[in-house]
Amino acid sequence: MLDKFSNKSLIDKPSFDHGLFWVSMILIGIGLVMVYSSSIALAETAKKFGNSSSYFLIRQTLFICIGAAAGFITFLIPIRWWQKVSPYLFLGGLFLLILVLIPGIGHKVNGSRRWLSLIVFNLQPSEFMKLFVAMYASDYVLRKSKEIGTFLKGFLPMASAIIVVGLLLIKEPDFGALAVISVIAALILILGGINKNILLGLLFVSPAAIWGIIHAATYRTSRLSFLDPWSDSLTKNYQLQHSLMAFGRGEMFGVGLGGSVEKLLYLPEPHTDFILAVLAEELGFVGVLVVIGLFSWLVIRAFGIAKEAIINENYYSALLSQGIGIWFGVQGIMNMGVNMGLLPTKGLTLPLLSYGGSGILANMIALAILLRIDWENRRGLRGI
């Protein structure tokens, strides 16, 4: 096996990807600092948060610690085990999405029923469903490798599964998660060798489906007002306008950490969906560019790990790596686009940075899987 590799430096690599690990830790660290900075005013002024400025900081730190423990355990599990259980994880995810919709079980926040109350924190199944879909789609492509180019036996079963997930997410509603999950599944199918005619059909059908979903609910149609962000200041575009003001105030180097005005109860959700706007105001264009650069490196590295897995003939690992890279990349682009007024508001967080237990836990487990795939790749290079 070692004869395939003429470059000795490949064999002499460290046991795991230090670059991936530290870039991930830097993003999580930036997120922790910005969660604290962006949430101080909200936490101090709300009785339900105990009027404590460190309320969200303490909880986010706890979430990161839980995520680190879960990530460590995940890293110890062989990728072949994840492939075996991926259909069951997908079914488990569907079950949780159904539970969320049951009154008295599903927890409702800001008009959306997306959470299951676990007393300590609320679990958001859609965050884990993104990972489960990446796992399931990767396994599906390999199981159906001989039929993946056909419509009835290859494309239709996977499309039907995603439609079921989509119907459940629309009922919550969580159109942002549906968009991310659909892109993950579609791109994994494309990477797996979907028929070109089916792909062309998707390109024609998808815009019509998106149009239909948007116009099926008045609140989604109203979000198209982002195309004219400076209209309707008091209702539809209030959040977007304050986000854009934050970007404008930040200019090149920002007003300084902690100096944001928009986080002082002007910008809604400053520590979750719009954390990038506060970061832009306090750290400026340079700060935003650093975050974009770190995310870009992480996504590119995920595809690099996939390429190495293909060399080792670990095709499930390759597809899963690409799926995780697609997830982080697509959700990151969508969140940044919303913050900058390039996309309508969707309620999507920025991976690794935004406040939230489910999001940070799912993200850190996904990163641990990436590190495990890379670790197995390196052992393959050494012939172990």
Specify burial of residue 213 (Cβ count, 10 A radius: 0-12, 13-18, 19+): middle
Question: Is the per-residue pLDDT at 186 higher than 90?
Answer: yes
Alpha carbon 38 to its chain's center: 20
Most confident of 145-154, 172-181, 280-289: 280-289
Q: What mean pLDDT is predicted for residues 323-340?
A: 97
pLDDT at 151: 87
What value, to the nearest 5°, has the Cα angle with vertex 307 and ends 189 and 81? 70
Is residue 238 a contact partner of residue 229, using CB atoms and an 8 Å limit? Answer: no
* pLDDT higher than 70, residue 139: yes
Other C-beta atoms within 10 Å of 371: how many?
19
The pLDDT tens digits for 192-224 are 888 888 888 888 888 888 888 877 777 778 777
Alpha carbons 35 and 314: distance in angstroms, whole number: 38
pTM, to two decimals: 0.92
| Structure confidence at residue 321 as a pLDDT band (50, 70, 90) | very high
Closest C-alpha among 34, 75, 76 to residue 57: 34
Q: What is the pLDDT of residue 2?
A: 40
How much is the CA Rg of the chain, to the nearest whole Å? 21
Nearest-5° angle of CA 7, CA 379, CA 377? 75
Whether residue 24 is predicted with pLDDT greater than 70 in this model: the reply is: yes
For residue 142, what pLDDT is reported? 94
202 vs 269, residue with greater confidence: 269
> Binning pLDDT at 50, 70 and 90, where does residue 146 land?
confident
pLDDT computed for residue 12 by the predictor: 55
Report percent pLDDT > 70 for the chain.
95
Q: What's residue 205's pLDDT? A: 84
pLDDT at 384: 65
Average pLDDT of the chain?
90
Backbone angles phi, psi at 108, to 5 degrees: -100, 130
Question: With bands split at pLDDT 50, 70 and 90, how would you rate the model's confidence at 382?
Answer: confident
Q: Which residue has the higher pLDDT, 286 or 145?
A: 286
Q: Which structure tokens are listed for 78?
A: 């062989």
Indicate whether 101 pLDDT > 50.
Answer: yes
All structural domains of the chain with their residue ranges: 2-381
Residue among 174, 106, 138 at smallest CA distance from 326: 138
Average pLDDT over residues 297-316: 96
Q: What value does the mean pLDDT take over residues 50-74?
A: 96
User: Residue 288 in contact with residue 276, Cβ under 8 Å?
Assistant: yes
Is residue 115 within a helix (H) or strand (E), and if so which, with residue range?
A: strand 112-117
